[in-house]
Amino acid sequence: MIPAAFYYVRASTLNQAIDLLRDDPDETKLLAGGHTLLPALKLRLASPALLIDIGGLAELKGIAISKTGVRIGALTTHAELFASEPLNKELPVFRQAASLIADPQVRNRGTIGGSLANADPAADWPGVVVALQAEIEIAGPNGLRRVAARDFFVDIFSTVLEPNEILASIHIPRPKAGTRFLYRKIRHPASGFAVVGIAVGVRLQQGVVAEISVGVTGAANHAFVGHRAADFLTGKMLSRENIDQAAKLLSETTECLSDRYASAEYRANLIRIETTRALLALSS
């Protein structure tokens, strides 16, 4: 439980962090909340030569709400996302999802940027940002670039981030009036991570689905968009029969993960059940 030796630098600007990262990106790790990285160092699952602490970078902090949407700095903690009144007035799904993450200790230190960059297949925020149709802003030696959240996650613990890049912020377009979001998950009983998590955003017009987005986490190698359920429901009533059919289609979409906690068949069934529950809750 003792990490290998490493150099430690606390960056004071984003540019300094990018410069430091440029020197030897493969042997360097960024430290945000530390609630994933520090256990990995102690278990020697990671042994970087240099640790860049980005925890003090003002550029990566804060929640800003504008007419076009919401910008969340990468260093915003789960607890801050839970507590922000302006954010939760716009998008109450943040409070709801944050309340389901782990325990108060983890929520007080863990950051949304750290969670997304780490791309644990069982993390909660990936499913939520996919359903919110967010964009991830990435800072690197060539400046800033943006990637749709649905294209950000590549595989287990793998994203489109290059080793010399830093996840800077998350941008969520303002949803159309009347859009409601819900995140549901089946928690792993020990860690609280999602065995399966389903995030749904839906806008109804006279009971008919005008727009819908679905994000799935926990079930597969990485979070993904529930296209088949959304395509099936668009233009239809959110009736019990249609909900059942959409949930079934979604559960058949992907090759689910299988581990000692949950088989692939069990996870597929949880996709069906949690999608049904989320859509039923949003139908009334």
Ligand X SMILES: Cc1cc2nc3c(=O)[nH]c(=O)nc-3n(C[C@H](O)[C@H](O)[C@H](O)COP(=O)(O)OP(=O)(O)OC[C@H]3O[C@@H](n4cnc5c(N)ncnc54)[C@H](O)[C@@H]3O)c2cc1C
Residue matched to tokens 């297949």: 121
- Nearer to ligand X (CB atom), residue 40 or residue 264: 40
Query: How many other CB atoms are found less than 10 A from the CB of residue 252?
Result: 11
The CB-of-161 to ligand X minimum distance in angstroms stands at: 6
Of the two residues 35 and 212, which places its CB atom closer to ligand X in the complex?
Answer: 35
Contacts of 179 (CB under 8 A, 6+ apart): 201, 202, 203, 211
The residues of the shown chain that bind ligand X, judged by CB under 6 A, are 29-37, 74, 101-102, 106, 109-111, 113-115, 117-118, 120, 123-125, 161, 166-167, 191-193
Tokens 């792993």 found at: 188
Rounded to the nearest whole angstrom, what is the least distance from the CB of residue 207 to ligand X in the complex? 34
Cβ closer to ligand X: 215 or 238?
Answer: 215
Q: Tell me the backbone φ, ψ of residue 191, rounded to 5 degrees.
A: -90, -25
Composition of the chain by helix, strand, coil, percent to 5 = 35, 30, 35
Closest separation between CB of residue 192 and ligand X, Å? Answer: 3
Minimal distance in Å, beta carbon 189 to ligand X?
A: 11
CA 7 to chain centre: 30
Q: How far apart are CA 221 and CA 139, in angstroms?
A: 25
Residue 128 or residue 246: which is nearer to ligand X going by CB? 128
d(CA 104, CA 184): 19
Least distance (Å) between residue 56 CB and ligand X: 13
Given the complex with ligand X, which of 35 and 150 has the nearer CB atom? 35
CB nearer to ligand X: pick between 109 and 184? 109
**Cα(117)–Cα(25) distance, rounded to whole angstroms?**
15
**From CA 6, how far away is CA 237, in angstroms rounded?**
58
Q: Of 155, 165, 136, give the one whose Cα is nearest residue 223.
A: 155
Beta strand spans in 26-83 (E): 28-31, 50-53, 63-65, 69-73
Residue 72 Cβ vs ligand X, minimum distance, rounded to whole Å: 12
Q: Find the shortest distance in angstroms from Cβ 135 to ligand X.
A: 15
Pairing of strands 28-31, 50-53: parallel
**CB nearer ligand X, residue 36 or residue 254:** 36
